[in-house]
Amino acid sequence: MIPARFDYEVADSPEHALELLGSREDAKLIAGGHSLVPAMKLRVARPALLVDIGRLDGLAGVRDAGEQLAIGALTRHAALARDPLLQEHCPIVSHAAGLIGDPQVRHRGTIGGSLAHGDPASDLPAVVLALGAEMVVRGKGGERVVPAADFFRGVFETAVGPGELLTEIRVPKLGTFAGWSYLKFRRRAQDWATVGVVAVLGRDNGDVKSAAVALVNMGGTPLRAAGTEAALVGGSSAADAAAGIADGTQPPSDPGASSEFRAHLARVVGRRAIEEALAR
């Protein structure tokens, strides 16, 4: 399919991007283009103006911000996968980024695009949700910081408003007592997750003191599995805690999997992810 006609401008700074974005009602940012262009080809998205932020190198890269790491929104998945700061302090982000799509997707797609797109089948949204990350969103009026728990609003809907730019994602340094895992079930190596489970566990002498378990493709947004988290902190085994992981979720039914199969997968993948996090 061929996209509808559109105009194209290249932003040379975040301020310029915001200015261009505000210049037309139906303007849209493009970063890696790996979610937006397919949507334009299907004519699900028909922006009249594309504002290209893909060359804003100042918004790419990872820096040490004390107890957090600050990830620029333009950092590409391949760069996340090999970043030494992430690998040392928050390796789950590198690991999950390395599981996205195929090499071409990882070399074009950006973390900001993945989060702002708000696809509940994407990997990084559930990872940042489990990590309790903070999103820095810039608009004409200045910057605001949105906790990941408030960021994902619905299918393809996030807290980023039409005239705003996601500039940075702040993730915590996990420390040596944290165990983590991200497992995704997919039919082919390069596919989106049929279901994915993130587990981040804080431990003390082998006891689980804190647990964050987040689900991919089990509802309209990435979800926390609160019952499973409470069970883990209460001393339940991985199998017992994962038994209720799909409770309260509304997994989609599509040609990839029925909602019943997704609930079953979440229990199996969830148990394995928790076991892996406990062992790591």
Q: Which is nearer to ligand FAD, 67 or 157 (CB)?
A: 157
For ligand FAD, the binding residue among 81, 116, 174, 245 (CB under 6 A) is 116
Per CB under 6 A, contacts with ligand FAD among 154-173 are 160, 165-166
Q: Which is nearer to ligand FAD, 165 or 211 (CB)?
A: 165
Q: Which is nearer to ligand FAD, 112 or 251 (CB)?
A: 112
From 86-94, 117-125, 236-244, 255-263, give the range in contact with ligand FAD by CB under 6 A.
117-125
- In angstroms, the CA 180 to CA 199 distance is 5
Q: Smallest Cα–Cα separation from 182: which of 145, 206, 148, 215? A: 215
Total residues contacting ligand FAD by CB under 6 A comes to 29
**Does 130 interact with ligand FAD (rule: CB under 6 A)?**
no
User: For the purposes of burial, counting CB atoms within 10 Å of the CB of 249, is it exposed (0-12), middle (13-18) or buried (19 or more)?
Assistant: middle
Long-range CB pairs of 63-67 (<8 Å, 24+ gap) are 65/170, 67/172, 67/173
- 3-state SS, 130-163, equals HHCCEEEEEECCEEEEEEHHHHEEECCEECCCCC
Per CB under 6 A, contacts with ligand FAD among 2-61 are 28-36, 38
**What is the contact surface with ligand FAD in residues (CB under 6 A)?**
28-36, 38, 73, 100-101, 105, 108-110, 112-114, 116-117, 122-124, 160, 165-166, 192
